[in-house]
Each structure stands twice: as structure tokens, then as C-alpha cells.
Amino acid sequence: TFFLTQSVFAVMEKNRSGHIFFITSIAAEKAFKSSTIYSMSKFGQKGLLEALRLYAAESNIRITNVMPGAVLTPMWGEVPEKMQNLMMMPDDIADPVVNAYLLPSRSAVEELVIRPIGGDINE
């Protein structure tokens, strides 16, 4: 995340515009016992983007932290059907991200928290 952000930010800073989306997780704000390393990495990403945001505004660069809850993706491996019904689909995340991107450049969605309607899934 760090090296990609560093490269992209340099180009956007030169152009004095851009929009960076960090897809973190609700684990960036709430640690999960069964996913300590994952939670740690997401907390780190959130720290990076918040620090970067302090510099980004000077170059008209928007930074959005997208924090989805459980999304049915291959990352989960085999998911029982009962649990699948509690999870969101990738489009549930993609649509709000596109809407945030399409806002006028004078506006920024700083955080997008998107959870399944039933709340967090505890493993």
C-alpha cells in the first residue's frame, strides 16, 4: 500500500489533482480476535491515509477511506450458504465508491463505512 500510494501521489501532486481510494475494512476501527494481523494492517493503512490527507488537500487530491464489512469475495474461501446470505456483494461497495468519485472536486467523501444490514459478522 505504501509504495503504490507513494508513486500515485507523486503523479497526482504534479498534476495538482486526483482521488485516492484506500479499501481498508471495518477492521481499521474494530479489531477482530480471529484476524489480528489483518486488523493490524488495516489500522496501519488508516494511519497512512489520515497522515497523507494532511498534505493532499494542498494539491487538490481527495483521499477516501472505504471501510466495508463482510463482502463475499474469494478472500473468505469456502463460505457456508447461511453465512453468504449475511454478506454484501462487491457491487454493494463499488457503487458508493463511484458516486464518491463523481462528486465535484470541491467536495470529498473522507470515509465510507458500509456494513451488511445485519451488522458485523463475528468469526
pLDDT in tens, 35-59: 899 999 999 999 999 999 999 999 9
Domain 10-114 sits in which CATH superfamily? NAD(P)-binding Rossmann-like Domain (3.40.50.720)
pLDDT of 31 reads 87
Q: Say what the pLDDT of residue 24 is.
A: 95
Residue 22 to residue 48: CA distance in whole angstroms? 10
Active-site annotation holder among 21, 32, 38, 43: 38
Please list the ranges in the chain whose pLDDT falls under 70: 122-123
What integer pLDDT is reported at residue 25 of this predicted model? 94
Task: Tell me which residue of 46, 38, 39 sits closest to 5, measured CA to CA.
Answer: 46
Q: What is the pTM (predicted TM-score) of this model?
A: 0.88
Catalytic site includes residue 101: no
What whole-number distance in Å separates Cα of residue 37 and Cα of residue 44?
A: 11
Residue 45 is which amino acid? Q
Residues in the chain: 123
Please state, in angstroms and rounded to a whole number, the distance separating the CA atoms of residues 51 and 9. 13
pLDDT value of residue 122: 65
Q: What residues does each domain of the chain span? A: 10-114
The beta-strand segments (E) located in the chain are 18-23, 61-68, 111-114
Question: 68 pairs with which residues across the strands?
Answer: 114
Please tell me the predicted confidence (pLDDT) of residue 67. Answer: 96
